[in-house]
Amino acid sequence: MRKFLLIFPLVLIISIKILSAAEFNIDRIQITRNGLHQHNFLVELARSDNERALGLMFRKELRENHGMLFIYINEREVNMWMKNTFISLDMLFLDKHGYITRIVRNTEPLSLNIIPSMGNVLGVLELLGGTASRLDIRIGDRVNHSAFSF
């Protein structure tokens, strides 16, 4: 048992390093208002359960106009959190057409509080905290990406 207690922290640290080094597919998205081009972003795509579970955990920085797009197979209510996430984020909850239905601004790093979608969504876009305010992104704006039907 003593060996396990000595080895377990090492295995945990190595596992975290491997997970945090995971490579996500990258794509471009646009956020539009009333069909007019507004803002471009480069996003990592979190499509699998493992990718969505890891998200932006363990990251020390996120560049402006970069983010992560969580994509689900079907519309559903989702719960997000900031466990092991060191960066404040804006979370934009997206319906099946890519319309923003809820925005949670400047999330608290490392918080275990649940952040609910408050309705069915097909995706969640995470951006650097403050981005939605800085760019005047609003509920009803649309994220253009092939994951969402037009």
pLDDT at 133: 97
| Residue % of the chain over a pLDDT of 90 | 80
| Residue % of the chain over a pLDDT of 70 | 85
pLDDT at 1: 57
pLDDT at 18: 47
* In contact, 115 and 104? CB cutoff 8 Å: yes
| pLDDT per residue as tens digits for the range 80-131 | 999 999 999 999 999 999 999 999 999 999 999 999 999 999 999 999 999 9
Whole-model pTM: value is: 0.85
Q: Between the CA of residue 117 and those of 5, 12, 76, 91, 101, what are the distances in Å?
A: 39, 31, 9, 9, 8
Nearest C-alpha neighbor of 101 from the set 54, 149, 140: 140
Pick 133 or 16 by higher pLDDT.
Answer: 133
* In contact, 82 and 93? CB cutoff 8 Å: no
